[in-house]
Structure formats: C-alpha cells, structure tokens
Amino acid sequence: MDSILEILPELNLAFFQTIFMVGIALLVAVLLGLPLGITLFVTDQGLFLENKWMKGIVGIVINLIRSIPFIILLVFLLPFTNWLVGTTIGPVAASVSLSVAAIPFYARIVESSAREIDRGVIEAAVAVGASPWMIIREIILPEAKPGLITGLTITAISLIGYSAMAGTIGGGGIGDLAIRFGYYRYDNTIMFTTVILLIVLVQCVQYFGDFIAKAVNKR
C-alpha cells in the first residue's frame, strides 16, 4: 500500500501522459485517417469518384503501414520522430508513432463503415445532381456516423494498448510506469495497479463511445 502512495504523483502523471498520447493520435486519425478512409470508399468501383489507381495506391500504402508490428514501427520511425519533434523519448515523441499507426487503422474502419451505407441512398443523391463533396458531407458522413464513432472507440482502445508498448522505449505513460516499476523492480503491486488503471480506462472509453454512438443513431 505504501508503495502505491509513494508512487501516486508518478501514477497521476503517467495517466495523463497516456491520455495525451492517445488523444493526439486520435486527433490525427480523425484529421488524416477519416479523409483517407472516405477516399478509399468513394473511389471504389461503381461509386461516384471511381478511380482504380487512386484506390490502389492508397490501399497499398495503408496495408504497408498496417503490416508492420507496432513495436518495430516504433523503432523504425525514430529518425522521423526526431526530425519532427526534436526528441525520441517522452509522450510527445511517442504520439508521433502512435499517430502513424492510428491513421491507416482508422482509415480502414472508416472505409468499412461507409460500406454499410445502402448504395441506393448514395445513388439517390447522385440522381438529384449533388456534387461529390456534398454527397460526402451530407450523406456519407452523417449516415456512417454511428460506425465512425464506434470505430474511433476501437481505435482509442487499440492505441491505449500501443501506448504501453511505447513505454518500453521510454515513451512515458502508464505502460512506461508498469515497465519501470513492475518489470524492472519486480514490484507486483505497482504492476497490478497499472493494469487496473488500464482496465478502468478502457472500460470508460468503451462505455463513453457506445453511449455517443447510440445517441447519434437515428435508424
């Protein structure tokens, strides 16, 4: 018990570092992964911006990143991280590789939730003479919204897991704490505490995500 009290300030810091890293990565996932996912969808065969080349290239790049295990991506991206944020340790550095992993992950989820939309609804919008941009903004995004939010929840939870891996190379956050105290110092109490903290965090994210997805679903 004492050891927990002793470490409380560090636990607190680690918690917010995790939130920070995951938050940045989620933001980047929405900013870049969402447009990429939509691109994958609308360039598909039979859709209003059908483009085999575009779809092929974007698809290959996404698969390329997704096929690299995160722990390797982490190391692989060190020079890039250093160039971008000037350091390779700490939560800011970790959020770079988390973001790179989050973009293709979320893009694929966006693509698959857009596929759930009845093509007829999109066709009806084409028949009405709407521009591609309008169809994306007014039809695809609102119709896919529940799926997009559920997908964001899935991404967030995966990122929490990834962020612990980032801890192994000094990324900060709950994972870092677990490794330093739990693994290197054989302190099981700290280890369990961090695990419980992660469980609570994941549960909260899941609950919150489900709640919002349900609230926006008009079906």
Q: Which residues bind another protein (CB under 8 A)?
A: 118, 120-121, 123-131, 134, 138-139, 142-143, 145, 216, 218-219
Q: Which is nearer to another protein, 146 or 175 (CB)?
A: 146
Q: How near is the Cβ of 71 to another protein at its closest, in Å?
A: 39
Q: How near is the Cβ of 34 to another protein at its closest, in Å?
A: 17
Q: Which is nearer to another protein, 119 or 185 (CB)?
A: 119
How far apart CA 167 and CA 94 sit, in angstroms, is: 8
Q: In the Cβ-directed half-sphere of 89, how many Cα atoms lie within 13 Å?
A: 4
Q: Which is nearer to another protein, 68 or 139 (CB)?
A: 139
Q: Specify the amino acid at residue 49.
A: L
Q: How near is the Cβ of 114 to another protein at its closest, in Å?
A: 13
Nearest to 24, CA basis, from 95, 90, 77, 75: 95
Q: Which is nearer to another protein, 72 or 219 (CB)?
A: 219
How far apart CA 75 and CA 88 sit, in angstroms, is: 10
Q: Which residues contact 90 (CB under 8 A, 6 or more apart)?
A: 170, 171, 172
How far apart CA 16 and CA 172 sit, in angstroms, is: 10
Q: Which is nearer to another protein, 64 or 124 (CB)?
A: 124
Q: How near is the Cβ of 170 to another protein at its closest, in Å?
A: 44
Nearest to 139, CA basis, from 111, 156, 118: 118
Q: How near is the Cβ of 126 to another protein at its closest, in Å?
A: 7
Q: How near is the Cβ of 208 to another protein at its closest, in Å?
A: 21
Q: Which is nearer to another protein, 2 or 118 (CB)?
A: 118
DSSP character string of 104-126: HHHHHHHHHHHHTS-HHHHHHHH
